[in-house]
Amino acid sequence: GQQLNQSPQSMFIQEGEDVSMNCTSSSIFNTWLWYKQDPGEGPVLLIALYKAGELTSNGRLTAQFGITRKDSFLNISASIPSDVGIYFCAGRSGSARQLTFGSGTQLTVLP
């Protein structure tokens, strides 16, 4: 089946720093989604990407749909303590009937 490789697995950063994480796929995706999960809660959709090369922002978050259609990137600028959580990428190829999820990036923001 499809596989998503998400990296890094975890990050420890200082408050105010920028953050980058990415996902790569073994197959071409038509949709890329980025979710954030707070501790003990369900994931919440942050950004949805629908075509290759697309760059979309949501406040301090920016995500890009890679031009090869096999990768996606999420950047967080000027991190704050409430950015702490697990960030998941998810995607879907044209033939799949459900999403494939990455294993998540655990983000810790140090004061």
Partner 1 sequence: DGGITQSPKYLFRKEGQNVTLSCEQNLNHDAMYWYRQDPGQGLRLIYYSQIVNDFQKGDIAEGYSVSREKKESFPLTVTSAQKNPTAFYLCASRAPGGAYIQYFGAGTRLSVL
Using the rule CB under 8 A, which residue among 12, 14, 40, 59 binds partner 1?
A: 40
The nearer residue to partner 1, 73 or 88, going by C-beta atoms, is: 88
Question: Please, are residues 107 and 13 in contact by the beta-carbon 8 Å criterion?
Answer: yes
Using the rule CB under 8 A, which residue among 15, 26, 45, 81 binds partner 1?
A: 45
Q: Give every strand in the sheet of 4-7, ordered side by side.
A: 4-7, 19-25, 71-76, 61-65, 55-58
Question: Please, are residues 24 and 32 in contact by the beta-carbon 8 Å criterion?
Answer: no
Q: Looking only at residues 60 through 79 of this chain, which bind partner 1 when binding is defined by CB under 8 A? A: none
Nearest distance in Å: CB 3, partner 1: 11
Ordered alpha helix ranges (H), the chain: none
Q: Site residues (CB under 8 A) for partner 1?
A: 1, 6, 9, 30-31, 33, 35, 40-45, 48, 50, 88, 90, 92, 96-99, 101-104, 106
